[in-house]
Structure formats: structure tokens, C-alpha cells
Amino acid sequence: MGRQSTLNRTAIGVLTGLTVGSLIWGFSLALRGSQANWGLIGFELVILSSAVFGVLLALGRLAYARGLSLICIAGCVFVSAGLGLVALGLGPGEVLRHPLFLLRLALVGGFTVLAVLATLGSDTEAWKRLMQGGILSVLSVGLIAGGFATKSFWLSGGRFLQMLLLVVSLLLLTALGGAFCVGVHLIIRAFELAKGPSQPTS
């Protein structure tokens, strides 16, 4: 158990160190013009403040709320990474393709995985619910995205066929939306069932 805790703290320390290192890149983007981009600087400072909690976790502090702290760090890094580049004047597509955003997205994924591990622990029932919810949510979103990608098919044919396809597509969209909600509920339920090591026991 002690070794597992040490490995988790080491992983948190590595991710936090990479997050702090990415600030050099972020601040360089904010200061490279004739005038400082204060919007980007502000979001970089938010990331810096979240890294403070990462350092505390790596030192063994906040163990009673490790999962919650990690997911908060991930959320701060994700939102600030995106909005900071928007403040720099980039469009949504450019933000999603920017190397700095992709780097921080990988770090967010790492923090999220550690948060899940810290929260669920060895609760097999919670892991089962998480897997079920994750698969159902991903499949639902994938099928909905596939429907929008093939919308030319749903709009083809004569008037009667178009009306029929419209009704079918609305029914499918409703069913897939419901399946997505069920998947999200299963994921939430997994965390409700969890009794991981970071949870206080009564």
C-alpha cells in the first residue's frame, strides 16, 4: 500500500512538473508581441495556481481529498489552456490543433486517470459501473456524430422519403440521447459507490 502511494505521488509530481514547464511556453506566447497579452497571462497564472495543489499532493498533503483535488487540477488546466489560446486570438479549430493545447490535453488526461484511480481504488463494482457507463457514453456520442457526418443520406430522396427519414432520425437521436444520459448516470454512480483510499471512512 505504501509503495502504491509512493508511485501515485511520483506520478502526480511528474505531471505537475510538466505542467509547470509548459508555463514557459505559455508565457513566451503571451510576451512575444509588442504588448503583453494579459488575457493569456491571466490563464497561465490560473494554471500556475493549480500546480501548487499538485505539489502539495506530490508531497503527501491533501490525501483525504486526492481524487477531488486531481480532477480540479485537470479542469483548471483544460479550461485555462483553451481559453488562454482564445485570448491570444486563435479560433476553435486552431486551438484544438495547437501543440501547447495538445500537450496540456495529455497532462489533463494523466491527472484524470490518477483522479479515477485515487477515487475508485479497488472497488470492483464501481469499476464495473464506470466501464459500462464509459462504453455506453462513447458509443452514443460516436453514433450521433456519425449521423451528423452522413446527414446528406438523411436528406436524400423524395419528399415522402425525407419525411420518413426525418422521423426515423429523430427517434434514433432521442434513443441515443437517452443512452448517453444512462451512461453518464452509470459513471456518476460508480463514483458514488467508490470507497477508494482517498475517501474518509466513518
The string of pLDDT tens digits covering residues 112-124 is 999 888 888 777 8
Is the domain of 75 the same as that of 158? Answer: no
pLDDT above 60: residue 76: yes
Is the domain of 91 the same as that of 26? Answer: yes
Domain count, the chain: 2
Q: Which of 76, 112, 84 is nearest to 100 (CA)?
A: 84
Is the domain of 46 the same as that of 71? Answer: yes
199 inside domain = no
113 inside domain = yes
pLDDT above 70: residue 85: yes
> At CA 53, angle to CA 52 and CA 58, rounded to 5?
100
Is the domain of 148 the same as that of 104? Answer: no
Mean pLDDT value of segment 132-149: 85
Mean pLDDT value of segment 42-71: 89
Is the domain of 53 the same as that of 21? Answer: yes
pTM confidence score: 0.71
Inter-residue contact 197 to 121 (CB < 8 Å): yes
pLDDT (0 to 100) of residue 154: 61
